[in-house]
Amino acid sequence: MTHSNMNNSKPKSLSGDLGPIVHVSNLNLQYQYKLVLKNLNWTINRGENWLLGGISGSGKSSLAKVIAGLQNAVGEVEFNFNIDSALPAKVLFVESWYQFKNVEGVANFYYQQRYTSLQAKETLTVGAELISYSKENNLEFAEVEKLLKALNFSSLRNSQLLELSSGEHKKLQLIKALWLKPQLLIIDQPYTGLDKDSRKTLNSLLDEICADGVQLILICNDTELPASINCFAEIREGQLVQVESREMISTAPERTSRELPDFLKQSPVYSSENIVKMIDVSISYGEKMVLRNINWEVKAGEKWLLQGPNGSGKSTLLSLVNGDHPQSYANNFYLFGNKRGSGESIWDIKQHTGIISPEFHWYFDASSTVWQSVASGLFDSVGLFRQLPFSQKAKVDELIEFFDLTENKDDLLSSLPLGKQRLVLLARTIIKNPELLILDEPCQGLDQQQTQYFNQLVDELCNNGMTLIYVGHFESALPSCLEKRIVLENGEVKAIESIAESCLV
C-alpha to C-alpha distances, 112 to 117, 119, 319, 323, 365, nearest whole angstrom: 11, 10, 9, 10, 14
CB 324 within 8 A of CB 335: no
If phi > 0 it is left, if psi is from -120 to 50 it is alpha, else beta; for residue 272 that is beta
In the prediction, which pLDDT does 84 show?
Answer: 92
Domain annotation for the chain: domains and CATH numbers: 13-248 (3.40.50.300)
**Residue range 404-427, pLDDT digits in tens:** 899 999 999 888 877 788 888 889
Q: Check pLDDT > 90 for residue 279.
A: yes
Stretch among 157-166, 382-391, 432-441, 483-492 having the lowest mean pLDDT? 382-391
Mean pLDDT of 483-495: 94
Give the per-residue SS3 of 214-259: CEEEEECCCCCCCCCCCEEEEEECCEEEEECCHHHCCCCCCCCCCC
Distance of alpha carbon 184 from alpha carbon 50, whole angstroms: 11
**Residue range 442-482, pLDDT digits in tens:** 887 666 677 887 888 888 878 888 899 999 877 767 999 99
- Residue 425's nearest CA partner among 449, 450, 448 is 450
- Residue 190's nearest CA partner among 198, 182, 426 is 198
- Name the average pLDDT for the chain: 84
CB 282 within 8 A of CB 330: no
In the prediction, which pLDDT does 455 show?
Answer: 87
Mean pLDDT of 483-500: 93
CB 103 within 8 A of CB 161: no
First to last CA, the chain: 48
**Residue range 77-132, pLDDT digits in tens:** 999 999 999 999 999 999 886 655 544 444 444 344 444 544 445 668 899 999 99
C-alpha to C-alpha distances, 378 to 63, 384, 463, nearest whole angstrom: 36, 9, 22
Amino acid at 307: Q
Confidence tier at 207 by pLDDT (50, 70, 90): very high
In the prediction, which pLDDT does 166 show?
Answer: 75
**Residue range 18-43, pLDDT digits in tens:** 789 999 999 999 987 788 999 999 99
Q: Which of 144-152's residues contact partners 24+ apart within 8 Å by CB, and which partners?
A: 144/175, 144/179, 147/175, 147/178, 147/179, 147/205, 148/175, 150/201, 150/204, 150/205, 151/175, 151/198, 151/201, 151/202, 151/205, 152/198, 152/309, 152/310, 152/311
Mean pLDDT of 292-317: 92
What length does the chain have? 505
In the prediction, which pLDDT does 343 show?
Answer: 61
3-state helix, strand, coil in the chain (%, to 5): 35, 25, 40
Q: Check pLDDT > 50 for residue 6.
A: no
In the prediction, which pLDDT does 504 show?
Answer: 52
In the prediction, which pLDDT does 378 show?
Answer: 86
120 secondary structure, DSSP code: G
In the prediction, which pLDDT does 278 show?
Answer: 94
292 secondary structure, DSSP code: E
**Residue range 225-264, pLDDT digits in tens:** 999 999 999 999 999 999 999 999 988 777 777 788 888 8
Distance of alpha carbon 390 from alpha carbon 395, whole angstroms: 9
In the prediction, which pLDDT does 9 show?
Answer: 35
